Amino acid sequence: MERIVKKMPPSAPVIPKKLRVAAYARVSTGKEAMVHSLSAQVSYYSEMIQNHQGWLYCGVYADYAVTGTKQERPEFQRMLAECRAGKIDMILTKSISRFARNSVALLETVRELKNIGIDCYFEKENIHCISGDGELFLTILASFAQEESLSVSENLKWRIRNKYKDGIPNTFTILGYDVKKGVLTVNPTEAEIVKMIFADYLSGMGKTAIVKKLHESGVRPKLNGEWDSRKIHDILCNEKYIGDLLMQKGYISDHLTKKNRKNKGELPQYLVKDNHEPIIDRGTFEKAQQEMTRRAGQYHPKSDITAKYPFTGKIVCGICGKHYRRKINNSGTKYERVIWACSTYNTLGKSHCASKQIPESTLQSLTDGMKVHSMVAYPDKTLKIILENNTELVKEWQ
């Protein structure tokens, strides 16, 4: 009987695919101990992932001095973008509170990641969110984390408000003074800038003209950034320059959004008269308040209706990142030409931002019938239009 022998070529060994793993770390304050804690978290997870034979290291995303109740965490958002792009299979993190203290935001994020096949492992709680009962445990523990955040927030507010009652301010920074442990001492160099601002305003200069003068003189604000009319207004209205101290002008509405709101009577305020050395005498300060009231009545008659236009808050300058504002140019003809201009260009001129003005009629024709979310205007007369469905369009204007 003839037997047939078939030669079988050797098959290539199947190499198991490595799991692409990243980690997330966060600290909520900039204190030295927290900096060391963040560094320790980064080192720990880097070593842990790289030493695991079945894992491929995809980095550690770390947010510094950012609270876990906010979603505007740059590294957190960058990590989510990498997940959506299919570059990560699993995320490691120390605990639920490090990932997020807002339980709604936490569950929304975890569910989104779970739907695209990405697991989140919370080391302290020993929970894999992709498991069947993981989300149930996560929901319960996330609620505890959020309540803990509320408790910490309320305790901090209580401590600060009790200090206000004793005339002790919270930490702040102000041009013209150096502040150490709540005590204000005059900074001679900065005090001259404050005096110049008051003198220029009372001599008839507008806030925009003062901003231009400061820029041309090379004077910078206390906390960097750029001068604008709002900063000049705040200096002219600040009672600290006459030696008084008014506390609790604003407050944080809730521990989740962390939004600062102006105190319009919702909470008590505390005024300490003659608390420190003044920079401006009371007579000059009162004249400045009266002049601001006079100009406001003359140029901006009080109205209960705030004007808002279809493009308000939607156009961003492609050069400086500031928003465009609506302007009416009286050109001498019988018609008014309505345009939108970058606020930097409008305030400081072409030397600070070489953006282009856009006629409102042009904007209307370019976006006719569209549901616009935002726009970016570039100096080459191109406009990137982002629709509400995230579609991007690029259009030119003449």
- Which amino acid is residue 249, in one-letter code? K
pLDDT at 98 over 70: yes
Read off the pLDDT of residues 190-246 as tens digits, 9 standing for 90 and up: 999 999 999 999 999 988 889 888 888 888 888 767 788 888 998 999 888 998 888
pLDDT at 101: 60
Read off the pLDDT of residues 289-303 as tens digits, 9 standing for 90 and up: 999 898 887 765 555
pLDDT at 103: 66
Q: Note whether 82 and 58 are within 8 A (CB).
A: yes
Percent of the chain with pLDDT over 90: 17
* More confident of the two residues 158 and 248: 248
pLDDT at 4 over 70: yes
pLDDT at 158 over 80: no
Q: Note whether 99 and 129 are within 8 A (CB).
A: no
Percent of the chain with pLDDT over 70: 76
- Which amino acid is residue 144, in one-letter code? F
Instruction: Tell me the C-alpha distance between 199 and 240, whole Å.
Output: 17
pLDDT at 330: 62
Closest CA to 269 of 289, 293, 244: 244
Same fold, 19-149 and 167-299: no
Cα 195-197-202 angle, rounded to 5 deg: 95
Q: How confident is the model at residue 18 (pLDDT cuts 50, 70, 90)?
A: confident
* More confident of the two residues 253 and 272: 272
pLDDT at 200: 93
- Fold for the domain defined by 19-149: Rossmann fold (3.40.50)
pLDDT at 30: 54
Closest CA to 141 of 117, 157, 152, 125: 125
Q: Note whether 92 and 63 are within 8 A (CB).
A: no
**Tell me, what DSSP letter sits at residue 173?**
-
- Token pair listed for 322: 């500031």
Read off the pLDDT of residues 23-35 as tens digits, 9 standing for 90 and up: 998 877 655 666 6
**Tell me, what DSSP letter sits at residue 273?**
T
Least confident of 119-128, 155-164, 175-184: 155-164
List the helix and strand counts (H, then E) for the chain.
Answer: 11, 18
Q: How confident is the model at residue 68 (pLDDT cuts 50, 70, 90)?
A: very low
Closest CA to 231 of 240, 241, 221: 221
Closest CA to 324 of 333, 336, 334, 315: 315
Q: Return the domain boundaries, the chain.
A: 19-149, 167-299, 315-396
**pTM (2 decimals)?**
0.51
* More confident of the two residues 160 and 357: 357
pLDDT at 109 over 60: yes
- Fold for the domain defined by 167-299: Hect, E3 ligase catalytic domain fold (3.90.1750)
pLDDT at 37: 79
pLDDT at 136: 64
